[in-house]
Amino acid sequence: MYCRHCGAQMNPDATVCPSCGVASGSGSNYCANCGAECQPGTVFCSNCGCQFAPEQAAQQTYYQDPAQGAYQNPQANPQQTYQAPAQGYQPPVYPPVGTPLKSKMAAGLLGIFLGAFGVHNFYLGYTTKAVIQLCLTLLSCGILSFVSGIWGFIEGVMLLTGSINVDGNGMPLQQ
């Protein structure tokens, strides 16, 4: 077992971390299962996949600063600055339990064959794009259907090649 505040290894029966003095289970900087550093507020460890308890992921931690001799809330400390995650880092997105993922193949084929009507965007949950494609085709009485048809064909190919790999809710597409 590891301290969620400092990442030090500790006895599973311990109520307080011997390294930093924080109560066992408090903190959100490290995984209690493997000791890897985690982004505060995350639900899963990016190293071992361990799920944090919701109250642990959201709780505020208090610690004793040796220099000040008083307990303080790290979020309330004005000297501390937020460090943005590394450039290009995207936290993992997990669908709710029991939610089926959308098919990349089905969306791609819908885009290629019915892209002029925006069917693939309706399927993926991009309703604004889908309504624009549908209106472009229907309100022009089919005259501009080639424009939305080419648009849908290109998006269908992008779906099949993996350039578009999430649905309208940010969930990953199923192979």
Torsion, CA 163, CA 172, CA 43, CA 40, rounded to 10: 20
pTM: 0.48
Q: What is the pLDDT of residue 84?
A: 55
Higher-confidence residue of 27 and 56: namely: 27
> What would the mean pLDDT of 137-154 be, rounded to a whole number?
93
Higher-confidence residue of 88 and 174: namely: 174
Higher-confidence residue of 15 and 122: namely: 122
Our measurement of the distance from residue 119's CA atom to the centroid of its chain's CA atoms, rounded to an integer in Å, reads 26
SS3 category, 173 = coil
Cα-based angle 44, 48, 51 (whole degrees, multiple of 5): 30
Beta carbons of 22 and 16 less than 8 angstroms apart? yes
The DSSP call for residue 102 is P
Higher-confidence residue of 155 and 23: namely: 155
For 131-144, write each residue's pLDDT tens digit. 999 999 999 998 99
- Residue 61 confidence (pLDDT) above 70: no
Higher-confidence residue of 143 and 16: namely: 143
Structure-token pair, residue 44: 């899963």
The DSSP call for residue 117 is G
